[in-house]
Amino acid sequence: MTGAHVDVMDTVRLARMLHVSDRMIRLLVDHHLLPEPGRDGWPSPQVRALVARHDWLRLLGTPLSRRELHGLNTTLEMPEDAFSMAGRQYAPLYRILERAWAGPPPEHHAAWAADPLF
C-alpha cells in the first residue's frame, strides 16, 4: 500500500488560482515570494496555507488604485497602461509587480529568502 496522495498544483493551476499569468508565477519564485516547485509542482495544502497567511497573494489579480497600492508598498508605481475609472488610475497588482521587476531583482529581495513563505 502506498502513502496518501498529496494533491499538487502545477504552474498553470496555481496561476489560475491566483488570477495571474504563468510568467508571474515564475517571477514570484525568482523573487523568493514562492518556493521552487517540487518535481510535480507545489503541494496544494501548502499553497492554501500560504494564501491564507498572505493577503496580498489574493490581491494579485485585483485592480488597485494608487492609494490602495501605496497602502501595500509606497515604492511601487502605477504602470503606464493603467486604466482610468472615476478619475482614478487602476491596475492589477500582478501588472504593477511585473513592471517593478522588469530588471534584475534588487539586493533587498535576497532578504526575503531568509523569511520564506512556507
> Does the pLDDT of residue 49 top 60, yes or no?
yes
pLDDT given for residue 101 in this prediction: 86
Cell of 101: 521587476
Per-residue pLDDT of 54-70, as tens digits, reads: 888 988 999 999 999 98
What DSSP line would sit under 6-44, residue for residue?
Answer: PPEE-HHHHHHHHTS-HHHHHHHHHTTSSPPP-SS-EEH
Global pTM reads 0.74
| pLDDT at residue 96, as a whole number | 92
Comparing 7-16, 50-59, 61-70, 97-106, which segment has the lowest mean pLDDT? Answer: 97-106
